[in-house]
Structure 1
Amino acid sequence: VSQLCNIPMEFLRDPLDLEESARIQYDEETKCTLIINDVPTIDMNHGQFDSYITIPIGIILGTDYIVTVCNQATNSLENVIKKNVNTSMKSRFALEILFSISTQYIEKLKQLNKQRLKIENNLRDSLTNKQLFDLMEIEKSLVYFLTSLKGNGDIITKLFR
């Protein structure tokens, strides 16, 4: 993919690093732009209810190609493709992907809030360790979201500049 699309190899590797933070990088030699943003995904280490982490997704805008790279399947692109966005307008396409990611955060926050309300209602009846651990998982998800949304917001601000 790097050779075929004339994309720097690190632009393909960096979004696969789960510790990568949101950023924009431009490569003068290949004229490619890398946008890394965080997307919410279910934490597979917690099975009782949906707990979330965030993972990086890379959007690479090349001279002739748009390439996305992510460690897991995400429906961010599917939502954009359903809209029939014109991919020849690369910046617009990237913004549509970022908008789709933002929409996912809103949906996940609604789900977390429903879970929180359910746990709080159960807490009125009796307090158990499981309920406390579930609340801690929700809090962990919110910390991931807060950290990622700050970085994602900075990226969108830079794009509009």
Structure 2
Amino acid sequence: MIIIIEIVILCIAFFLICFWGTGTDNKNLKSYSSYPDEVQNRIKSIAEYQGKFKESNKVVTFVSNFLLFLFVLFILGLFIKENGFTHNFLCLSIIGQGLNIFDLFIVDLLWWRNTKRVRLRKIPEKELYQNPKKHIEAFIRAFIMYLLIALIDGYILTLL
């Protein structure tokens, strides 16, 4: 039961962070790498947006997200910890992949692709934001990341 509560809290917190991080062009441009290539190409061609976005390095992004969620899942793991590695690994995997699935289906495919909050003023056409390729690629990277985190945190929690 506690694992379900942790997943729900984590998903709500994640959605709120996503929601609060959108709504204006300046906020939205910080998520430049999440936009489909079609939108990124248009952003690059708009003078007003120059210098307000940066292309992120996927390795740096992966490592920073890895470290952040290594810590977050470790803290959540303290509440569900048992002596056996298998239990800790499975619970942490469920939490991490639960968030990953929530991010893909609820945040990215349902909300992000349809909300006006992520659309830029100079690029208002909804159809440009519909390509799910970047979201699916992020899901795959996060799938791997959460498995690695569950292995590491599961092992550490077993040692405690």
User: Do Structure 1 and Structure 2 share a fold, with TM-score over 0.5?
Assistant: no
Which structure has more helix as a fraction of its residues?
Answer: 2
Between 1 and 2, higher relative CO (CA 8 Å, sep ≥ 6) is seen in 2
Give TM-score scaled by structure 2 length.
0.38
Which structure has more strand as a fraction of its residues?
Answer: 1
